[in-house]
Structure 1
Amino acid sequence: MIKTIIFDFGDVFINLDKPATLRELNKLNIKELPENLFQINKEYEMGLISSETFISSYINNFSSLTHEGITTAWNSILMDFPKYRYQFIKKLSEEKNYQLILLSNTNEIHIDWIKDKVPFFEEFKSCFDAFYLSHEINLRKPNSDIFEFVLNKHQLNAEECLFIDDVSENTKAAKQLGIHVWNLEPTREDVIDLFTTNKSLF
């Protein structure tokens, strides 16, 4: 029986345009990123470097980039947050049938944008029993330690948890620990269909 539901954030609640950042950089004549910047991105998601260091790393690699240019390109991945999804999690929270946890790979620049653009973000956040952002806990998916952190912190049995994420690499990692998973496909599935799509678990 599922007692705890662990949700991803991007493309589960807020819609993403994942190719957007590279597309915006292309407009600035940046066609591909050097390998070191992919490592910088991971470190930034884990809160191991500051926003200023992250931005400086891009500017050091591409002298044509400005602080505003990289910030705009970086945030272009973020789209709309449909209010009906917030209403879904709010109702689920009020019913108190499950422990609700959010577990997201994200970063300070994205969260600052969301706080500014999503008027109900704080209310959304309060729907969860725990709200874990990778840059605040210095862990990121799909590394197993982030899932172990949540299981240990809340004394959870993996087989009583359902983890929802749109990235198969992340759901595979959770599944290896015995957690039930839903690898949500955002082009044809929606988190509000949680109980119909996964009715065998509930």
Structure 2
Amino acid sequence: MLQNVRHIIFDFGGVLLNIDYKRTEQAFVDLGLTEFGRLYSQLQQTDLFDRFETGKIGGPEFIRELKTSTGLQATEAQVTDAWNAMLLDLPLRRLQILQQLQLHFDTFLLSNTNEIHEAAFNKILKAQAGFQSMGVFFDKVYYSHHVGLRKPGPEIFRMILEQNGLSAEKTLFIDDSPQHIATAKALGLQTIFLEPGMTIEDDIFKPKQ
């Protein structure tokens, strides 16, 4: 599977961090926003979420715009909690795998995310493993809201390849969203699509028997 691979780019949510989009959708439904699933999902989202995930707006502005555009009657804390409801846990076995891979590969993290989620998953990481950020597990971390680009646009993939002098054909990209995998394939990267039910510890980087 790892044929001539020297560099590995990991997605975060759904690959390393366990997430459940339905939990956030239900949390917003419980707040009265019944159309949330139409606004945001794993496969698509509206312009508001795009701007949030590319850092064009910050957390407070995102919350204000979401409330204004939908008529949602909720506090900032309630919206933050509902938005973070999808973030679950970071299994320690996956972090151990990342540490082992660092010894043999150049490793990178590429995530469509935002400042509210970054604060939340850093708290999860600190509570579970004692680390302040995911940066300790990678050569470099690329969060969409920091670099102003997001998947599935090809620009963010090209940025990683060019900034780090990576050869596309020697780079493996692992993601759980098919539209992101499609872009990486088109650019010549090796890819693994993590289908529902698959995990990196059970299906990709299994311990040798």
TM-score by shorter chain over 0.5:
yes
Residue 25 (structure 2) aligned to one of 11, 22, 26: 22
Q: Separation in 2 of the partners of 1:77 and 1:35?
A: 15
Which residue number in structure 1 is paired with residue 164 of structure 2?
Answer: 154
Please give the per-residue CA displacement for 1:109-129, whole angstroms capped at 9, x wherever unaligned: 001011222223436421211
Cα RMSD, aligned residues only = 2.0
Is 2:92 the counterpart of 1:86?
no
Report the Cα distance in structure 2 between the residues aligned to 1:171 and 1:132, rounded to whole angstroms: 17
> Are positions 1:10 and 2:13 aligned together?
yes
Matched letter for residue 193 of structure 2: N
How far residue 166 of structure 1 moved from its aligned partner, in angstroms, is 0.4
Q: Report the secondary structure of 2:47's partner residue.
A: helix
Q: Distance in 1 between matches of 2:27 and 2:134?
A: 29
Distance in 1 between the 2:52 and 2:7 partners?
28
Distance 1:124 1:49 in 2: 23
Deviation larger for 110-119 or 133-142: 110-119
Correspondence 1:144 to 2:190: no
- The unaligned stretches of length 5 or more in structure 2 are none
Q: 2:85 aligns with which of 76, 82, 94?
A: 76
Deviations 1:24-57 (A, max 9, x none): 1111221104769821111101111111110111
- Judge conservation of contact 1:90–1:124 (CA < 8 Å) in 2: no
CA distance in 2, matches of 1:35, 1:127: 33
Q: Compute the displacement of 1:194 (Å).
A: 2.4
Within 5 Å, give how 1:121-200 maps onto structure 2.
121-122=131-132, 124-187=134-197, 189-192=198-201, 193-195=203-205
Measured in 2, the distance between the counterparts of 1:9 and 1:183 equals 13
Q: Which residue of 1 aligns with 2:120?
A: 113
- What residue identity is the alignment partner of 2:32? N
The one-letter amino acid paired with 1:92 is L
Check conservation: 1:12, 1:186, Cα contact below 8 A: no
Change (3 A) 1:29 1:41: same
Name which of 92, 111, 114 aligns with 1:104.
111
| 26-35 or 46-55, larger mean C-alpha shift | 26-35
Unaligned runs of 5+ in 1: 197-202
- Aligned residues of 1:86 and 1:124 also touching (Cα < 8 A): no
Distance 2:72 2:32 in 1: 11
Q: TM-score, normalised by structure 1?
A: 0.89
Aligned to 2:49: 41
Count of aligned pairs: 194
Cα pair distance change 1:123/1:31, threshold 3 Å = closer
Residue in 2 aligned with 1:199?
none
Amino acid at match of 1:113: A
Identical aligned residues as a percent: 35
